[in-house]
């Protein structure tokens, strides 16, 4: 590393060291001891204290030294004792205290140190900058003079004195506290340093100085200006597209090709090389997983083609949820309907089986490396490994497993050979299988390259493609039409609201509605009436449709002409013939390739055909390689003997990683775990060393949430990096404020570089992150503003009417809503997928450092109680996942707790368990069909300041909703012109949001005369009653759902209405009118009809019949037999 990178590394390590300046409180006297400073300085604890700690720790075993925390200076405040000066130490069975001041340094809690410009809170010792100057400049010399325990204590006290501002006692008195110097406190507890491995890795990097070059790590830390290429046009140049398409040689899916932006990201990664940092901004729902799988597949195939060991790919992030998402995305790479070829040929491992294997194939392509505390929890769900190599490496190399797996592999190999008609030969041994598979892979890849080169040559000869220009014009017109349609729906909703409020209104009354809703960016001119807006947008929609149809007809004509000019050449025909015979191409796939009219079209077709085949051959090649290692056929390349697996010298780790990646190339772990897997053995007197640049690729996911000082170290263990995240979502949880951060950097000689570091995301406070740093280090840019990095634009999760809000809020309109509106489950059930529910009398109040709104919480709880079953019937009719239907997001944790409590109080514990309630942090990475947003700020709050100052939180909240997003807020929020609610007003529609009432409307509109009572009909009903707060067994349905699924007699043209269905059941004496609505008769109850009890929005009780699966089948049969006539 050059001197600047060395300085920045030192800064990052110091920030991480500073994050360990934690508060420490001595709470229970049973857990700590108090002794005088004089006794402590002697270095020997009293016998009773010693035996208490040693016995407690050893529990009857041979006594071993225990870790203790010593508070040399203590703050006593309202009965609590908090350490002001803390020292980690060790206590042996003789009561002797020792401390290593070089590895376990004393500390003053960061909360007790001040930063200029930031108001102090509570009792403080001195300034943070003074502490750091002493720690960096004076402490090493002080430690060099320490020869005894007493010296160590004195050195710590001297540091406290030097850092102190001389007024700590006075400051304590003002806060009703007291500083204790004469009494010290000890607790038998280890100081847990979660980032210890990261600190060790930084320490090793600092010891390298200029010895080693670490290209990826140094590129991340670079402050130099980088020339960037626009990714927007990466595929527009035929020559460059050919180069990246040739490099792209693997795909994990044969279902869908990459989207345009995913393809650009993959091609940019392939254009980059060793030492590069490729940064991809992936907003929610844009297919980050698909992009990552494509990269991994291409790397696996490329290594196989080159005859190299399987690539070692490390996937990491800082929180367990992000890590779990990554491991889940690689946990099953086989399709549900896979054949003999596109599934793993290795079985799963089962140590309890006589064969050592399961009957099912292994499905994962990744191994999880959890902390020891999580290992047992995840062991049954994932492939797991640890630093002792006792996980997958050991479990998948036992003799029993290897024998069974080898036989299974060769059987699968023979089945595949048979499916090719003998073109691919079978194999009797692993060596033969490897040879056959390698030859097939090379032939398939050569054929793929021939197709690409032939198509590129034809395209270059044909000249510019008019059809591509026409396609771009169509896309532009469709985007404009989508915008105009959205505004048309908006004004139609305003018209409907106005008509509902005042059926015979005067058109001049529209002025007020228009005045409130018309904005400067409205595409329509300013009209006098709402109806004129509606007419304008309907007319424009028709005009766009005509233009799009005309352009599309011209495009198809041109494509036909261009296809004729780019017909298959003899070389391409021969390549297709080989691919067919090798089993790499189906008839459908071949037709798709033949119909490709451009190089880009061909590239798309290859994703789901040839590249998919190449990926699976590469997987099988490395499976054979793993079995060869594990079987010990080649003694030099056999797996490490069991007795030697704990060894971590360079030689052993090189062999280990080269072998285990053949079983699963991806290893998933948190950034805190990662350095532990690359730590090398050293002698006691040597400094810690690490296996730098060992991984072929580092993938860091959700990197917008990763503090740069935490995540940067990981880049040193990889040859290159792919960083994925979104700086427009949740930020990291920084351990330091910007001013303190700047002071530490200045103290470490980076004052002149601070502005550049801030601009490039290389600081450790707001607004830095690994994603920001990686984007700055990237070779690419995107968008009209040439933002650094790459961008995934096609959004598939949310309804367009929801994600367009996020598009306006933070994404500059770059997101392309790509989810089809066909199949929208709430069609005709809601006026808009984005609604506002006004809460009358809304008022917020402070709750500690948080904020709550009681009326809003109560309104939300009642809404959920009234409407949850309505949505559960739509999205979870079988009742298998009730907790995946509705979620509630709020900016304030106290409000989340209040809403949760209210739901349990009003709807019962089952409903409380079914609804996820939390801040945006809790729901990051999750999604629900329906999301409610509690804005909290009341009518007396003119601005929602916290929400407006953290736009990322609203972005996360909105993008959790797939089908419906409802904002609950006071009247003031609808007129709020802040960034967040100003856009809510533009995109949302006001509604009472009473969905259940609209569904149960079938009950009150049944006005026909009651059926004459009979003895059977009026008998005391014995039906089952189900409260709204209770779960309904799988398969139950209300009438409106039931009639939609009826299979009617032949000749019937359409399903009946729920009203007609209920009338027919009354006529047949299966239901009868009750006080609050229809209820089953005894006859109906015997059939399996139950009752669903609820409360309307006005607090009135109502009931509705619900039909069990048995009742549904019986009724359907009776309808088809004509026994019940609708």
Q: How many residues does the chain have?
A: 1126
User: How many angstroms separate the CA atoms of 74 and 177, rounded?
Assistant: 10
Distance, CA of 219 to CA of 275 (rounded, Å) = 7
CA distance 883 to 860: 17
What b/e string do you get for 820-838 counting C-beta neighbours within 10 Å, with b at 16 or more? eeeebebeeebebbbbbbb
Best-predicted range by mean pLDDT among 12-21, 167-176, 774-783? 774-783
Using pLDDT thresholds of 50, 70 and 90, give the confidence band for residue 119. low
Please determine, for residue 116, whether its predicted confidence score (pLDDT) is greater than 70. Answer: no
Model confidence pLDDT, tens digit, residues 56-97: 555 556 678 899 999 999 999 887 899 999 999 999 989 999
Cα separation, 74 vs 797, whole angstroms: 54
When computed from its CA atoms, the radius of gyration of the chain, rounded to whole angstroms, is 34
Residue 519's SS3 state is coil
Residue 353: CB partners within 8 Å, gap ≥ 6? none
Beta bridge partners of 782: 787
- Whole-number Å distance between alpha carbons of 646 and 662: 20
C-beta contacts of 378-383 below 8 A and 24+ residues apart? 381/331, 382/327, 382/331, 383/664
pLDDT band, very low/low/confident/very high, at 1052 (cuts 50, 70, 90): low
Are 624 and 434 in contact by the 8 Å Cβ rule? The answer is yes
pLDDT tens sequence across 420-457: 887 888 889 999 999 999 999 999 999 999 999 999 99
Mean pLDDT of the region 981-1002: 82
Q: What are 683-740's pLDDT values in tens digits?
A: 877 888 999 999 999 999 999 999 999 999 999 999 999 999 999 998 998 888 898 8
**CA nearest neighbour of 8 among 709, 692, 675:** 709
pLDDT band at 1031 (very low <50, low <70, confident <90, very high): very low
Taking alpha carbons only, the member of 1098, 1097, 1103, 1045 closest to residue 1071 is 1103
Among candidates 547, 528, 535, which has minimal Cα distance to 488?
A: 535
Residue 675 has pLDDT above 90, yes or no: yes
CA dihedral 400, 406, 412, 416 (to 10 degrees): 180
Asked if residues 296 and 688 have their Cβ atoms less than 8 Å apart, the reply is no
Residue 1106: its H or E element: strand 1101-1107
Would you call 686 helix, strand, or coil by DSSP? coil
| Pairing mode of beta strands 80-91, 66-77 | antiparallel
pLDDT score at 211:
67
CB neighbours of residue 685 within 10 Å: 5
Identify the band that residue 1016 occupies on the pLDDT scale cut at 50, 70 and 90.
very low
User: Is-contact 347 358, C-beta < 8 A?
Assistant: yes
**Mean pLDDT rounded to a whole number for the chain:** 88
- Give the single-character DSSP code of 1124: S
Burial class (CB in 10 A: 0-12, 13-18, 19+), 400: middle
- pLDDT, mean of residues 663-681: 96
Tell me the mean pLDDT in the region 1113-1125. Answer: 81
363 pLDDT above the threshold of 60 = yes
pLDDT digits (tens, 9 = 90+) for 396-406: 999 999 999 99
Per-residue confidence band for 1117, with pLDDT thresholds at 50, 70 and 90:
confident
Tens of pLDDT, residue by residue over 601-640, are 999 999 999 999 999 999 999 999 999 999 998 888 999 9
pLDDT of residue 1013: 32
**Better pLDDT: 179 or 63:** 179
Q: Tell me the range of 106-115, 641-650, 1045-1054 where mean pLDDT is highest.
A: 641-650
pLDDT value at 1049 more than 60: no
Are the beta carbons of 759 and 251 closer than 8 angstroms? no
Cβ proximity of 283 and 646 under 8 Å: no
Backbone angles phi, psi at 543, to 5 degrees: -65, -40
The model's pLDDT over 288-327, given as tens digits with 9 standing for 90+, comes to: 999 999 999 999 999 999 999 999 999 999 988 888 888 9
For residue range 502-557, list pLDDT tens digits in order.
877 787 788 888 888 888 889 999 998 999 999 999 999 999 999 999 999 998 88
Mean pLDDT to the nearest integer, 956-977: 94
Let me know if 862 is exposed, middle or buried by CB neighbors in 10 A (0-12, 13-18, 19+): middle
Whether residue 165 has pLDDT greater than 50: yes
State the Cα–Cα distance between residues 388 and 393, nearest whole angstrom. Answer: 10
Please write down the HEC assignment for all residues of 61-95: CCCCCEEEEEEEEEEEECCEEEEEEEEEEEECCCC
Look up the pTM and report it: 0.78
CA distances from 184 to 73, 180, 818 (A): 7, 8, 65
Q: How confident is the model at residue 468 (pLDDT cuts 50, 70, 90)?
A: confident
What is the mean pLDDT of the segment spanning 245-256?
Answer: 96
Helix (H/G/I), strand (E/B), else coil: 955:
helix
- 494, 579 Cβ separation under 8 angstroms: no
Write down the pLDDT at residue 1095.
Answer: 60
Residues 444-482 as b or e (16 or more Cβ within 10 Å = b): bbebbebbbbbbbbbbeeeeebebbebbebbeebeeebe
**Averaged pLDDT for residues 196-206:** 93
Percent of the chain with pLDDT over 90: 61
pLDDT for 565 equals 64
Specify the 3-state DSSP secondary structure of 518.
Answer: coil
CA distance 855 to 969: 10
**Which alpha helices (H) appear in 693-780, and where do they start and end?**
708-711, 738-747, 754-759, 770-777
Report yes or no: 314 and 368 within 8 Å, Cβ to Cβ. no
Q: CA dihedral defined by 967, 971, 975, 978, rounded to 10 degrees?
A: -60
CA distance 589 to 586: 5
CA distance 817 to 803: 7
Omega within 30 of 0 (cis) for the link into 564: no
Residue 1015's pLDDT is 32
Quick: pLDDT tens for 910-964: 999 999 999 988 877 789 999 999 999 999 998 898 999 989 999 999 999 999 9
Per-residue pLDDT, averaged over 864-868, amounts to 96
Per-residue confidence band for 1009, with pLDDT thresholds at 50, 70 and 90: very low
Query: Is-contact 806 283, C-beta < 8 A?
Result: yes
The Cα 1047–Cα 1109 span in angstroms is 14
Share of the chain above pLDDT 70, in %: 92
Strand-pair partners of 790: 280
């Amino acid at each position: 590393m050059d001197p600047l990178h060395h300085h920045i590394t030192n800064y990052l390590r110091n920030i991480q060291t500073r994050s360990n300046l934690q508060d420490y409180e001595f709470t229970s006297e049973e857990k700590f001891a108090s002794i005088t400073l004089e006794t402590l300085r002697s270095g020997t604890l009293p016998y009773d204290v010693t035996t208490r700690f040693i016995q407690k720790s050893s529990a009857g075993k041979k006594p071993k030294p225990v870790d203790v925390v010593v508070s040399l200076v203590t703050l006593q405040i309202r009965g609590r004792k908090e350490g002001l000066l803390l020292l980690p130490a060790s206590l042996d069975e003789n009561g002797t205290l020792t401390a290593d001041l070089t590895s376990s340094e004393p500390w003053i809690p960061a909360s007790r140190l001040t930063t200029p410009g930031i108001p102090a809170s509570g009792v403080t010792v001195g300034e943070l900058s003074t502490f750091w100057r002493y720690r960096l400049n004076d402490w090493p010399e002080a430690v060099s003079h320490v020869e005894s325990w007493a010296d160590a204590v004195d050195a710590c006290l001297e540091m406290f004195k030097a850092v102190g501002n001389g007024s700590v006692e006075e400051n304590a008195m003002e806060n009703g506290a007291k500083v204790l110097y004469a009494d010290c406190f000890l607790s038998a507890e280890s100081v847990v340093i979660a980032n210890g491995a990261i600190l060790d890795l930084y320490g090793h990097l600092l010891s390298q100085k200029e010895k080693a070059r670490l290209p990826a790590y140094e590129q991340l830390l670079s402050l130099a200006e980088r020339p960037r290429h626009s990714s927007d046009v990466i595929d527009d140049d035929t020559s460059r597209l050919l180069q990246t398409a040739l490099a792209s040689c693997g795909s994990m899916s044969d279902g869908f090709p990459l989207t345009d932006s995913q393809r650009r990201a993959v091609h940019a990664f392939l254009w980059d090389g060793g030492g590069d940092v490729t940064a991809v901004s992936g907003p929610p729902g844009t297919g980050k997983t698909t992009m990552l799988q494509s990269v991994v597949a291409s790397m696996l195939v490329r290594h196989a083609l080159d005859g190299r060991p399987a690539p070692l790919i490390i996937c990491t992030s800082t929180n367990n949820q992000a890590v779990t998402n990554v491991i889940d995305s690689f946990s099953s790479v086989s399709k549900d309907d896979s054949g003999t070829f596109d599934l793993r040929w290795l079985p799963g491992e089962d140590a309890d089986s006589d064969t050592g294997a399961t009957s099912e194939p292994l499905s994962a392509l990744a191994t999880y490396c959890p902390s020891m505390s999580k290992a047992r929890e995840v062991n049954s769900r994932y492939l797991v490994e640890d630093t002792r190599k006792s996980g997958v490496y050991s479990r998948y190399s036992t003799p029993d497993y290897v024998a069974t797996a080898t036989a299974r592999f060769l059987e699968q190999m023979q089945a595949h050979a048979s499916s090719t008609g003998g073109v691919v030969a079978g194999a009797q041994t692993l060596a033969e299988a490897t040879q056959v598979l390698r030859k097939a892979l090379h032939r398939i890849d050569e054929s793929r390259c021939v197709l690409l080169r032939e198509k590129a040559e034809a395209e270059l000869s044909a000249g510019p493609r008019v059809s591509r220009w026409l396609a771009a014009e169509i896309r532009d017109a469709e985007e404009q039409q989508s915008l105009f349609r959205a505004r048309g729906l908006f004004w139609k909703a305003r018209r409907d609201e106005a008509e509902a409020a005042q059926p015979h209104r005067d058109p001049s009354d529209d002025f007020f509605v228009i005045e409130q809703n018309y904005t400067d960016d409205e595409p329509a001119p300013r009209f006098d009436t709402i109806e004129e807006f509606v007419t304008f947008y309907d007319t424009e929609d028709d005009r766009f449709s005509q233009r799009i149809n005309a352009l599309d007809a011209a495009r198809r004509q041109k494509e036909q002409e261009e296809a004729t000019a780019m017909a298959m050449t003899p070389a391409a025909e021969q390549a297709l013939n080989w691919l067919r015979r090798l089993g790499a191409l189906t008839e459908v796939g071949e037709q798709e390739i033949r119909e490709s009219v451009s190089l880009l079209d061909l590239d798309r077709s290859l994703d789901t055909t040839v590249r998919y085949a190449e990926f699976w051959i590469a997987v099988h090649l490395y499976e054979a390689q793993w079995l060869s290692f594990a079987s010990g056929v080649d003694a030099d390349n056999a797996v490490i003997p069991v007795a030697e697996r704990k060894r971590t010298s360079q030689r052993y780790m090189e062999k280990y990683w080269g072998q285990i990646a053949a079983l699963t190339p991806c290893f998933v772990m948190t950034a805190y775990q990662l350095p532990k897997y690359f730590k090398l053995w050293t002698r006691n007197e040597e400094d810690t060393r690490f296996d730098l640049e060992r991984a072929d690729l580092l993938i860091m996911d959700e990197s917008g949430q990763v503090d740069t000082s935490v995540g940067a170290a990981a880049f040193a263990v990889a040859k290159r990096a792919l960083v994925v995240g979104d700086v427009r979502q949740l930020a990291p949880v920084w351990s330091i404020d910007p001013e303190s951060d700047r002071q530490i950097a200045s103290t470490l000689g980076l004052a002149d570089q601070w502005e550049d570091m801030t601009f490039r995301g290389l600081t450790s406070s707001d607004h830095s992150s690994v994603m920001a740093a990686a984007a700055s280090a990237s070779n690419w840019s995107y968008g009209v503003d040439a933002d650094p990095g790459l961008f995934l634009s096609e959004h598939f999760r949310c309804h367009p009417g929801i994600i367009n809000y996020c598009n306006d809020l933070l994404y500059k309109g770059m997101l392309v809503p790509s989810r089809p509106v066909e199949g929208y489950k709430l069609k005709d059930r809601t006026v808009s997928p984005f609604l506002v529910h006004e809460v009358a009398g809304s008022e917020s109040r402070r709750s500690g450092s948080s904020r709550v709104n009681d009326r809003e919480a109560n309104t939300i709880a009642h809404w959920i109680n009234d409407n949850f079953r309505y949505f559960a019937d739509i999205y979870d009719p079988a009742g298998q996942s009730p907790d995946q239907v509705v979620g509630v997001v709020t900016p304030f944790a106290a409000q989340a707790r209040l809403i949760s409590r209210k739901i349990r109080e009003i709807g019962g514990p089952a409903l409380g368990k079914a609804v996820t309630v939390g801040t945006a942090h809790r729901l990051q990475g999750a999604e629900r069909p329906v999301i409610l947003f509690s804005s909290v700020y009341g009518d007396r709050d003119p601005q929602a300041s916290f929400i407006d100052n953290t736009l990322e939180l609203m972005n996360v909240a909105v993008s959790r909703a797939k089908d419906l997003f409802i904002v609950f807020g006071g009247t003031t929020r609808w007129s709020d012109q802040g960034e967040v609610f100003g856009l809510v007003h533009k995109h949302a529609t006001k509604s009472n949001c009473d969905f259940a009432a609209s569904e149960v409307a079938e009950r009150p509109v049944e006005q026909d005369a009651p059926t004459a009572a009979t003895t059977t009909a009026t008998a005391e009903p014995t039906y089952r009653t189900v409260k709204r707060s209770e779960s309904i067994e799988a398969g139950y349905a209300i009438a409106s759902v039931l009639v939609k699924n009826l299979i009617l007699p032949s000749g019937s043209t359409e399903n009946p209405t729920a009203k007609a269905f209920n009338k027919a059941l009354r006529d047949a004496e299966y239901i009868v009118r009750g006080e609050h609505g229809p209820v089953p008769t005894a006859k109906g109850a015997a059939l399996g009809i139950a009752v669903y009890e609820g409360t309307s929005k006005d607090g009135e009780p109502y009931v509705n019949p619900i039909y069990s699966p048995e009742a549904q089948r019986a009724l359907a049969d009776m309808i088809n037999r004509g026994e019940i006539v609708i």
